[in-house]
Every structure is written in C-alpha cells, then in structure tokens.
Structure 1
C-alpha cells in the first residue's frame, strides 16, 4: 500500500476504528514512510494500459458522490507522464455529470479491475478536462469509431493495490474464446479423426 494514499484516505475516524480493531499499528508503520507522492511505476502503467474500462468517482456541488463507468478499447486510459494519466472523453449521453463535478472540485478516485487475475488498482488524483486538439488527438485510440469531446488528464496523488479477497473472477467473451481455443481445436481434431475412421 502506498503511503500518500494512506495519509490521504485514512481520516481520524478510520484510524480510531483501526485502533479498536487492532490493525492500527501496522498501518501506522506504513504511514510513517510517506513521501511527496506515490510514483507510478511501469507495473502500474502496464496494468492501466491493459484495462478496457474503469470506474471514476467525483463529487457533486452538493457533496454527493457520483461514480461513472468509462470504457473503450484496451489502452484507452494510459500514463502520459511520470504521474499523469489521461483518456479521450468520447461523446456519450450528454449528461456531463463528471465534467461538471470536476469543474467545481477536481478530486477523483478511480477503480481499475482485472477480474480474471483477481487484481484491482485504486488511484486518487486531480483531474481536469482539456479541449486542446493536440492533447485529444494524442489520447485517441486509432480505429475506434467514437468521436472525442475532450481529453481528461489526471495527476495521480496516490494509489493502492488491493488483495484478491472477495474478487470474483469474470471473463470477457474474447478471454473465454482464448482460454477454450485449445479444447475447441482438440475437439475438431477428434471429430475429423472419427469421420475418417467411419468413412
């Protein structure tokens, strides 16, 4: 667990509950080594680039949390600097809830899931939209048919890798096809052999 994430997310209430549960001492040791920022490494960048969706939480002007699912081709969310990630914001239902929330409060929390491998990465940071054509073009996915309205850039403040406990493995159609391809090939060979023997 990264130290800045701990310092940012653990309020006094959480620390008091950790104390009561007996887990405070181990978290306090982790917090003691806090640096200026939790730096993204190639491990995080590779994980981020492999995702085809994520969840992004922002807060409304009235203080209500709003969680939005974002999806696209694998790699549509990517690291574009030492601690900056970004994605092209493609035209959607035109509610503009996240965009409006970020105009008032730029803090976001992202949840990135790898269900087959039971891994998740949580990120917190400051986000802003960009209408700069060069930035938007740099974040577009070649061959993807949707049209972007803007780019979102997120300066990551902290992140945390979670344990696999309670993550149910889920697979996409392509992942299932890849995993079952050897069995399908073997079945085809057996059918051909049976047809040959019967013929």
Structure 2
C-alpha cells in the first residue's frame, strides 16, 4: 500500500458485487498476484472508491465508503473461490458522466473466474520460471504440472492473447 491509493480492476461473474442493503455491498477477493495492494490499503485506510462501468450502454456509477475485510464465515463461503470478502458501508453514490467511455460488447467472461466449486486455471504469470520462489507450494505444484515458461514465452503468449 505504501500510503498511496491503489486502483485495481475487480471482475467476476455477473452479480459478484452484491447489494446487501441500501448502504452495504460486498464483493469477493479472488487469488491475485499476491501483492495485496488493494487489501493492504483497505486494512490500512478502509476508505475506498469504486467505479462501475457499463461499456455496452455506456454508463458509469461511482461509490465511496469504508470497507472492511471479512476473512471467514458464511459470506466468504457464499463466493466459491474467494479468499476474502470486502464489505463496504456506502457513504456516497453518484452517476458519473459517461461521455468518454468507449462502447464495447461483452464477448466472453474471463476464463479465470472461479467456477461453482471455486476452481480456476492457474494464472499464466505463475508459470514463469523466475517466479517459482515466491509462489505458495500449491501454486508451484500447479505451475509445474502446467509447465514452466520463460519470460520471453510469457510476453509472446500475452501479445498473442494466449492467456491459458
């Protein structure tokens, strides 16, 4: 976190952000890059801003509030594959001008969204040979099973849109 705000894209299956009441919403934290910049900022400062963009209409909605991390319990269990759940007490909500939002369509969901039992493919970067010493034992085993790749291969695969 280093005391600076962090801006991170969060995605999931439709409905992954849940409105629990007019002033409370939740969303899951799935396996990421292990840096915990978003969660670190929440743990340190609690104040967050969220930007919801509907690229098909286009529309934008901003939400601000104070967040807390939920590490276990029924709410975490209700999101298969979630490591944590972020619960936000909403302080402000407003519609934001969408004039510069590029209009796009959703062709497919990310293949990395955990399925109904919480399983998802291993992230391509976790297969990098130079990253093995920072992975968990479980991720290291999955990377070895999928096959390790070099940084050059990684860059080529990403540039060609081959993310699995």
TM-score of the pair, normalised by structure 1: 0.51
* Contiguous gaps of at least 5 residues in structure 1: 1-59, 142-146, 175-199
Q: Deviations over 1:126-175 (max 9, x none)?
A: 0110013212123x16xxxxx2111110111001102332222111215x
SS for the counterpart of 1:70 is coil
- 5 Å matches for 1:129-168? 129-138=69-78, 140=79, 147-168=81-102
Q: In the alignment, does 2:100 pair up with 1:100?
A: no
User: Larger relative CO (CA 8 A, sep 6+): 1 or 2?
Assistant: 1
Q: Under a length normalisation based on structure 2, what TM-score does the superposition of the two structures give?
A: 0.61
The alpha carbon displacement at 1:115 in A equals 1.0
Number of residue-to-residue matches in the alignment = 109
Per residue, is there more helix in 1 or in 2? 1
Q: What's the offset of the Cα at 1:99?
A: 1.1
Distance, in Å, in 2 between the alignment partners of 1:116 and 1:74 is 14
Q: Give the deviation of 1:61 after TM superposition.
A: 4.2
The equivalent of 1:29 in structure 2 is none
Does structure 2 conserve the Cα–Cα contact (< 8 Å) formed by 1:116 and 1:170? Answer: yes
Gaps spanning 5+ residues in structure 2: where? 109-164
Instruction: Calculate the aligned-residue CA RMSD, in Å.
Output: 1.8
Residue 98 of structure 1 deviates from its aligned partner by 1.1
The SS at the match of 2:103 is coil
